[in-house]
Amino acid sequence: MISKPHVSIIVPCYNVEKYVEQCVNSIISQDYRNWECILINDGSSDSTLDLIKYLETKDDRIRVFTQKNLGLSATRNKGIDNSNGEFLFFLDSDDILSNDAISTLVSSFQNNDIITSVIITSTFSNDNIINKISQLLHPKEGTITFENSHFEVLVRTMETGLTPVAQNRLYRKDFIDKNKIRFKSGILHEDELWFFETMLLARNVKFINSETYFYRIDNQDSITKNVGDRNLESYIQVMEEIFKKYSQHKHFNIIANWYVVYIKKIFLDFAIRERSKISDHIILRLESALKNCYSSLEKESVLSKNNDIYYKTINKLSLHDFSTIEKYFFRNPINSLRKIMNVIKITYFLKTKW
């Protein structure tokens, strides 16, 4: 096995005493040997810190840091800042890797800024047997390289969906540092913004059709199991950040304005689905932010005809109050008479108060 390049595996740890040893053992078991593992205790209140200190003694490639509780973004940023590798790889402390995960990614490298492989959602039995549930969204081609000169990865995401996570991707560290990309602190769903910025700025992004990462879905303490105002507030902040930084940028404004609508689509769907868990106060905040982050999409299309119509329709709908949005919102594709009628009503007949 090739001994280079050096890969920094960054593992944030918060109250994961039940899971982190299995996670770290999957790193130690890698058939690729030239790695460092950076374990960062983010103010855990259980025995996580003691456990990862013990794991540090098992392999001199493991380094442990600890800090007060600052959240996932700040913890990952600390890992980036303390990394020595030529490549970065993010691993959640309740997930595990296949034994050939890092070697598979490294051996596929062809001057890419980012390489990503397949994530499998899984549950884990008491005897460490992995029960595979489903595959997160990956290009239909399986293995494909995007030159990304016209933001092909973001366009593909808006067209057919790619899972916007930070994990299970090999990032060139010089690409991350050159573009000063870091996770936004203090929010949930930080991966949505990270994905947008990395895929906006990357050149030559490769996806490979290999299962390398097993994403645990049976952790009841995960933030994905507990939703409410903070989730929606975080989605709003992601939208605002993209709009503020890129909607007027001479190179990025068109793709950014379309992607803002993609984010709107995601969190409007979330807000409608979880309305009973969301306060009226955050709904008012949502209505205001939607109007403030509005840009016309008429200048230039980047999507296929069906998606062009859909995104423009959702963009216009976002100018209305939330009760109207609830009434008329629909998911793509436009494949029924009811959806066609909604497009017509939203486009030609609904009058906004803005």
Q: Considering the domain boundaries, does residue 220 fall inside one?
A: no
Q: What is the pLDDT of residue 123?
A: 86
Last residue of a domain, one of 150, 184, 215: 215
Task: For residue 223, give the DSSP letter.
Answer: G
Residue 285, pLDDT score: 97
Contacts of 134 (CB under 8 A, 6+ apart): 120, 121
Would you mind telling me the total number of residues written for the chain in this entry? 354
Residues 177 and 324 in one domain: no
Give the Cα separation of 138 and 160 in Å (integer): 10
Coil, helix or strand for 38? Answer: strand
Please give the pLDDT value at position 51: 97
Domain boundary among 163, 181, 215: 215
- Please return the burial class of 149, using the count of CB atoms within 10 Å of its CB with bins 0-12, 13-18 and 19+: exposed
Strand pairing class (35-42; 62-67): parallel
130 and 237: one domain? no
- Considering the domain boundaries, does residue 236 fall inside one? yes
Q: Note whether 110 and 234 are same-domain residues.
A: no
Specify the number of domains making up the chain: 2
| Model pLDDT, residue 221 | 62
Whichever domain contains 12, its CATH number is: 3.90.550.10
Picking from 131, 137, 97, 73, the residue whose alpha carbon sits closest to that of residue 9 is 97
User: Which H or E run includes 205?
Assistant: strand 205-216
- Bridge partners (DSSP) listed for residue 8: 36, 88
Residues 278 and 330 in one domain: yes
Q: Please tell me whether residues 308 and 209 are part of one structural domain.
A: no
- Does 144 share its domain with 273? no
Asked whether 266 and 118 are in contact (CB, 8 A), the reply is no
Domain boundary residue, one of 215, 240, 258: 215
Shared domain for 284 and 207, answered yes or no, is no
Is the domain of 111 the same as that of 50? yes
Q: Is residue 192 part of a domain?
A: yes
- Structural domain containing residue 206: 7-215
Confirm whether 287 is domain-assigned.
Answer: yes
Q: Judge if 40 and 172 occupy the same domain.
A: yes
Same domain, 198 and 247: no
Burial of residue 144, with CB atoms counted within 10 A of its CB: 0-12 exposed, 13-18 middle, 19 or more buried? middle
What pLDDT is stored for residue 223 in this prediction?
54
Q: Are residues 168 and 209 in the same domain?
A: yes
Has residue 1 been placed in a domain?
no
CA distance linking residue 63 with residue 38, whole number of Å? 5
At 354 the pLDDT is 55
Average pLDDT per consecutive 10 residues, the chain (354 residues; last block may be shorter): 81 96 96 97 97 96 97 98 97 96 95 96 80 93 96 97 96 97 94 97 97 87 72 96 95 96 96 96 97 90 94 96 96 94 93 65
Q: Are residues 287 and 203 located together in one domain of the fold?
A: no
